[in-house]
């Protein structure tokens, strides 16, 4: 069993409680249907259940189902979304998130399905450069569920993660006023360590539970990365900018106003080797860049406070 970083709630039907838990949102319905499409439970070209059937299954109003289906249609995972007939799974839902025609999407939407597809390989290789690894930890949850359900069985998993060193002055998050505030740095460091430990624990547990050869390695960067990058199986590169915003002070917790980035909402651009010269070159250069950082100026990172 793996540690969870999220605990989505579920279900009521048209105001009638089914399990005593809060009703699902249309985003949660979209997440579940997206996972079924990515796992192959819903096949390309297959007609979806009716909106009435989905509303009954998830315990939501039909309006929530329609909103969820529209989200998946905007991601090019579904076609023929209308009130009158069931939607259809797109002919190539796997390719919808990669290649030169793929639109950028928030990390929370785009990363998990790509990670899940990467875990279908015999030897899974994931390299990441990020600020805290929270997006990667969340995204790993889907393939872990599929492994525990017996739908995926890689033989080997290698994960390398570059994170900022604890000893540097971060470019962000930082107080708006610009004065030193150890609490901001300590909160970031606690988040970095906690997310990394959950990621490491969840993956290494696959050794005991499924006999998978797993290696998870972290190294520290001497700077704050202004971008996040995920490299999957040597064939895909997912890239996003950290865009800074002002986050107002939390008076109850005495936290100052900050300049910070919401990495889970960063728009992720997908590049795939073999999808044209532009994509292939970007993937190759991203690997060269990552390996150069890993082998030169990065240092050993221990996930402790």
For 180-231, the pLDDT digits (tens) are 668 889 999 999 999 999 999 999 999 999 999 999 999 999 999 999 999 9
| pLDDT beyond 70 at 86 | yes
User: For 153-169, what is each residue's pLDDT tens digit?
Assistant: 999 999 999 999 999 99
Question: Cα-Cα-Cα-Cα dihedral of 87, 93, 97, 101, to 10°?
Answer: -90
Average pLDDT over residues 249-258: 70
- pLDDT at position 167: 92
Cα Rg of the chain, angstroms: 20
Q: Which residues pair with 213 in a beta bridge?
A: 156
| Vertex 52 angle, CA 50 and 53, to 5° | 65
CB burial readout 86-112, b (16+ within 10 A) else e: bbbbbeebbbbbbbeebebbebbbbbb
Average pLDDT over residues 33-52: 86
Q: Which of 13-22, 78-87, 231-240, 282-291 has the lowest mean pLDDT?
A: 13-22
| pLDDT beyond 70 at 3 | no
Distance CA 210, CA 150 (A): 10
Average pLDDT over residues 275-299: 95
Extract the tokens encoding 105.
């999407």
């Amino acid at each position: 069993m793996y540690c969870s970083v999220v605990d989505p709630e579920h279900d009521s039907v048209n105001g009638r409680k089914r399990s005593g838990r809060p009703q699902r949102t249309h985003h949660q319905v979209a997440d579940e249907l997206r996972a079924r499409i990515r796992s192959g439970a819903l096949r390309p070209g297959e007609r979806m259940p009716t909106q009435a059937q989905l509303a009954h299954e998830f315990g939501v109003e039909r309006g929530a189902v329609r909103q969820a289906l529209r989200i998946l249609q905007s991601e090019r995972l579904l076609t023929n979304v209308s009130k009158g007939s069931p939607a259809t799974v797109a002919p190539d839902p796997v390719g919808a998130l990669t290649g030169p025609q793929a639109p950028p999407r928030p990390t929370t939407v785009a990363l998990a399905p790509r990670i899940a597809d990467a875990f279908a390989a015999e030897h899974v290789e994931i390299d990441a450069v990020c600020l805290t690894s929270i997006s990667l930890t969340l995204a790993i949850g889907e393939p872990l569920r599929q492994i525990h359900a017996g739908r995926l069985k890689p033989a080997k998993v290698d994960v390398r993660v570059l994170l900022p060193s604890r000893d540097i002055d971060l470019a962000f998050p930082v107080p708006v006023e610009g004065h030193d505030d150890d609490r901001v740095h300590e909160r970031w460091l606690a988040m970095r360590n906690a997310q990394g430990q959950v990621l490491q624990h969840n993956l290494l547990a696959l050794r005991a539970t499924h006999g998978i050869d797993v290696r998870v390695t972290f190294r520290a960067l001497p700077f704050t990365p202004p971008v996040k990058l995920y490299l999957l199986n040597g064939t895909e590169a997912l890239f996003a900018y950290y865009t800074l915003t002002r986050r107002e002070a939390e008076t109850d917790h005495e936290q100052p106003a900050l300049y910070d980035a919401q990495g889970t909402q960063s728009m992720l651009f997908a590049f795939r080797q073999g999808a044209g010269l532009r994509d292939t070159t970007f993937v190759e250069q991203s690997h060269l860049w990552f390996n150069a950082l890993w082998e030169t100026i990065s240092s050993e990172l221990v996930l402790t406070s």
